[in-house]
Amino acid sequence: MAIVAGIDLGGTAVNFTLRDSARGTFLIDALCEHPALSTHGPDVCLRQIATGLEIAALQAGVPVGDIAAIGLDTPGPASADGVLSAKGSTNFAHPAWAGFDLRGQLAERLQRPVVYLNDGNAAALWGHSAVFGSDGATSVSVIIGTGTGGGLVVDGRMVTGRNGFGGEVGHVLIPWRSIAGLEDIRPHCNCGRTGDLESLCSLTGIRQTLLPHFLPQYPAHPLHGVDLAAAATRVRGLADGGDAMAREIFRVQARALGLFFDQMVNLFDPDGFLIGGGALEASRGFRDWFVTEVRAGMPVQREEQVTRIELMPDGDTAGARGAALEAVRVFGL
């Protein structure tokens, strides 16, 4: 029996899944998490991963020795081969992480082959496989969180690109001035661009741009006087409850996404789109409204092009599942 592990390493937690590649089934249904302790540096964190993997094997009822290969995903920035940026990263702040060969070191620690994907790409691969199947479909995924991640699968293959930056959907520029109500703003992104998808369609975009823009238009709003970072995290809940300003902010995000999808329709003519991330951890009614607004933000397509828009399945385990699928493919298991 060939067992493949998917390991989704974040700043605070590491999430595991195990896949029986012969049967094509996952052996862990729910979230299987272990503390990552990434602030303690690579040594401690790698030990946490090894311990967590043993716990996952126990939970799945398989000997840890049966795990033949591993798919690993993390937030970036990192190279296509899993070397973290020398300039450091938000999720791996300890100085020893700078330039750390995470994929290579994990392979050595666990004595197994390891393949690497960034977390957006891994989630996109899982969503693609679950929704569009494995027969060479094309999809574009957008994960709306603190930033904007995602991935591009073309004819069934993940596009990672020459440097590992393929499918960086967040930094694609969009014509934001065509969104009603945004004519006078300049949405800056931390990457240095003005008016890319992440500058509007992320929690950071809410904090840096949309909340400071819309809040003054609602003088009696309860978020006045609340620290911006804390206020930004409350916008989704308020929008779900029907708050007018919060709905306006999410309408802008949906329209931005619609403009981005339109570009992708013309570039790839995909089978469909997937939307995931914390922004959509809300009621069914809110999610349906959001997708309707995305569609409303898209220019009319050619008659034969019907745009399919789906929500990312298994949001919190999508990364680990996608990483496992990549290991199955790369190592031919």
Which helix (H) or strand (E) is 5 found in, with range?
strand 3-9
CA distance 165 to 218: 39
Look at the block and give the residue holding tokens 């272990």.
Answer: 34
Closer CB to Zn ion, 171 or 234, in the complex? 171
Q: How far is the CB of 168 from Zn ion (least distance, A)?
A: 8
CB of 90 to Zn ion, least distance (A): 14
Minimum distance from residue 196 beta carbon to Zn ion (Å): 4
Are 95 and 43 in contact by the 8 Å Cβ rule? The answer is no
Query: In angstroms, what is the minimal distance from the CB of 259 to Zn ion?
Result: 15
Shortest distance, CB of residue 199 to Zn ion, whole angstroms? 6
Grouping H, G, I as helix, E, B as strand and the rest as coil, residue 58 is helix
Which residue's structure tokens are 């709306």? 144
Report whether 76 contacts 160 (CB < 8 A).
Answer: no
Instruction: Name which of 48, 102, 56 is nearest 79 in CA terms.
Output: 102
Of 50 and 173, the one with the shorter C-beta distance to Zn ion is 173
CA dihedral 55→60→65→67, nearest 10 degrees, is -110
Beta carbon of residue 195, minimum distance to Zn ion (angstroms, whole number): 9
Which CB sits closer to Zn ion, 48 or 199? 199
Nearer to Zn ion, 51 or 90 (CB): 90
**Least separation, in Å, of the C-beta of 164 and Zn ion?**
16
Backbone phi and psi for residue 83, each to the nearest 5 degrees, phi listed first: -95, 120
Least separation in angstroms between residue 183's CB and Zn ion is 21
> For residue 46, what are the contacts with CB-CB under 8 A and spacing of at least 6?
105, 106, 109
Residue 198 or residue 271: which is nearer to Zn ion going by CB? 198
Provide the 10 A C-beta neighbour count for residue 259: 22
Structure tokens at 30: 């729910």
Q: Which residues pair with 20 in a beta bridge?
A: 3, 25
What's the min distance (Å) between Cβ of 150 and Zn ion? 13
> Residue numbers of the site for Zn ion (CB under 5 A)?
171, 189, 191, 193, 196, 198
Q: Select the residue whose beta carbon is closest to Zn ion and give its number.
A: 189
Distance of CA 128 to the CA centre of its chain: 13
Nearer to Zn ion, 8 or 196 (CB): 196
User: For residues 138-177, b (16+ Cβ closer than 10 Å) or e, as one string?
Assistant: bbbbbbbbbbbbbbbbbebebbbeeebebbbbbbbebebe
Name the residue nearer to Zn ion (CB basis): 72 or 189: 189
How would DSSP label each residue in 190-238?
A: TTS-BSBHHHHSSHHHIIIIIHHHHGGG-TT-TTTTS-HHHHHHHHHHH
Residue among 171 and 295 whose Cβ is closer to Zn ion: 171
* Closer residue to Zn ion (CB): 8 or 198: 198
